[in-house]
Structure 1
């Protein structure tokens, strides 16, 4: 509770079966962790003896503690407490903008479109079928327990693929670019339920729930969190206002320029392209302006601009297209 009132941790919760399964062991000695082969290791667990585990990565030297947990699928994991070294950047000053979305999980200013691999169509159909069967199963029955376990296995498969994508993408960005610009999004507020209260019920609750699931399935927060771990001090968060409405070629802000979810066409200069890539280039531009302002001081950032830094607002001008 002291950590909660200090503002460094969340409110403590009661332990729940199937969620908070596990324990932590401190004071680990070097001889209590062994490597058996290239893929397998063993750790000495008190009152259990030597327990083998699969090596997903080499165990670092000098670990002092580990935690053994069990997920909802029934898989046991052991995690050794260790702070890894940051991923070194290229050192060439390259800047990349990352625009996070639902249809495209991450669009880069270089033009690359990255998407989280979800369930296959067959797995999605099986997930829907299992959910229907679970709704008809009697509470407390063995059939319901088996259906819940099957659903948990599919959900864990989807979660594992998302985590693997986040790890690979964050490592690629941290290793390939010196500065990474992302939007400063309040994901908790964006995914808040819209059902409202009895006195003031919400509108379009089902559509908002679907959007919330899409945002959470894209791994927005996890991607930025891992980027900050692997590239500390190199991740810059910018104001997300008008990044999807501003043309990356001429700087004109026009809400009608985004013709669809994936199509952007500026009515002033005629620039057309992918809407997510256009937003990512605006993010990269804002990140460069922030770096210049930090290096040269506030006077250089405000010189020759009115309103918000790096933003040019003017009415769309007609152009002749050949």
Structure 2
């Protein structure tokens, strides 16, 4: 490959020749590349380059990340992060196109044209989600030394609820909507990119009871989570945003794991230590 200007480069493709591409980011030396075409009809060239991990800030700061559907990622600092989606006008246009696609005759040119327009809108939505994940993961890797995130089994969580003819599922439409919301929030990609950019600094935490545990007094009660957004402890009356409270619990656990990995005592563990043998007095 060779560079023509700040934003334009050329790559030599076998049996095609030199092809221009948009130079979207800084690159090192590439040993190979791959050319692909997506569902929207766009061509992409990807170079095989392993980027360097983002260095830790060295401040000792830790953060917990609680992933959800309404709030895509709630941080223990109190910051709610939400994946950008299509605007209202774009959603209405997508709905009109999908209706037109349903009415179009199979194999017709009109159907192919409408199908390409739907693919372009969905690709735009996917591009925004990928851009959000990249910016969010880079920001977290630069700001925090320890990053705690739930160890979620996303493939199992988004499995269809249809069931079989003999044992049909229940609330299939509601489960399908939940699955779409989970996948649209970019849970898996966010966790993967955090591990790529901050290797050794990301701790996956067991998600059980993180949303039912009070971060102030550690009391566990399902009744404390009054709604999707409100957490009010039934024991100490501590009140917080439900997702932020869960993110704080994730952060505390991740800090304990990080301290234990460095050879220290886990946070919250016993501080008393037995005396050394060479200091024992024999009376």
Class of the TM-score when normalised by the shorter of the 2 chains: over 0.9
TM-score w.r.t. length of structure 1: 0.82
Name the CA shift for 1:153/1:85 in 2 (closer, same or farther; >3 Å): same
Conservation of the 8 A alpha-carbon contact between 1:183 and 1:283: yes
Partner residue, 1:222: 189
Root mean square deviation, CA, Å:
1.5
Query: Match of 1:85, SS?
Result: coil
TM-score w.r.t. length of structure 2: 0.92
Q: Tell me the alpha carbon deviations over residues 5-60 of structure 1, each in whole angstroms, 9 at most, x when there is no partner.
A: xxxxxxxxxxxxxxxxxxxxxxxxxxxx1100011001111111110000001231
Q: Are 1:174 and 2:147 matched, yes or no? A: no
Partner residue, 2:256: 289
Q: Which whole-Å CA distance do the structure 2 matches of 1:79 and 1:95 have between them?
A: 34
1:270 paired residue among 216, 223, 237: 237
Deviation at 1:92, TM superposition (A): 1.5
Partner residue, 1:54: 22
Conservation of the 8 A alpha-carbon contact between 1:263 and 1:273: yes
Partner residue, 1:9: none
Q: Which whole-Å CA distance do the structure 2 matches of 1:235 and 1:299 have between them?
A: 17
Matched pairs, number: 271
1:73 paired residue among 20, 24, 40: 40
Partner residue, 2:281: none
Q: Which whole-Å CA distance do the structure 2 matches of 1:293 and 1:86 have between them?
A: 23
Partner residue, 1:3: none
Partner residue, 1:308: none
Query: Match of 1:131, SS?
Result: helix
Structure 1, gaps ≥5 residues long? 1-32, 305-322
Partner residue, 2:2: 34
Q: Tell me the alpha carbon deviations over residues 186-242 of structure 1, each in whole angstroms, 9 at most, x when there is no partner.
A: 000000000000000000000000000000000000000000110111100011000
Conservation of the 8 A alpha-carbon contact between 2:230 and 2:239: yes
Partner residue, 2:162: 195
Query: Match of 1:135, SS?
Result: helix
Conservation of the 8 A alpha-carbon contact between 1:293 and 1:301: no
Q: Which whole-Å CA distance do the structure 1 matches of 2:209 and 2:55 have between them?
A: 32
Q: Tell me the alpha carbon deviations over residues 295-317 of structure 1, each in whole angstroms, 9 at most, x when there is no partner.
A: 4478987649xxxxxxxxxxxxx
Name the CA shift for 1:300/1:55 in 2 (closer, same or farther; >3 Å): closer
Query: Match of 2:126, SS?
Result: helix
Q: Which one scores higher on RCO, CA 8 angstroms, separation ≥ 6?
A: 2
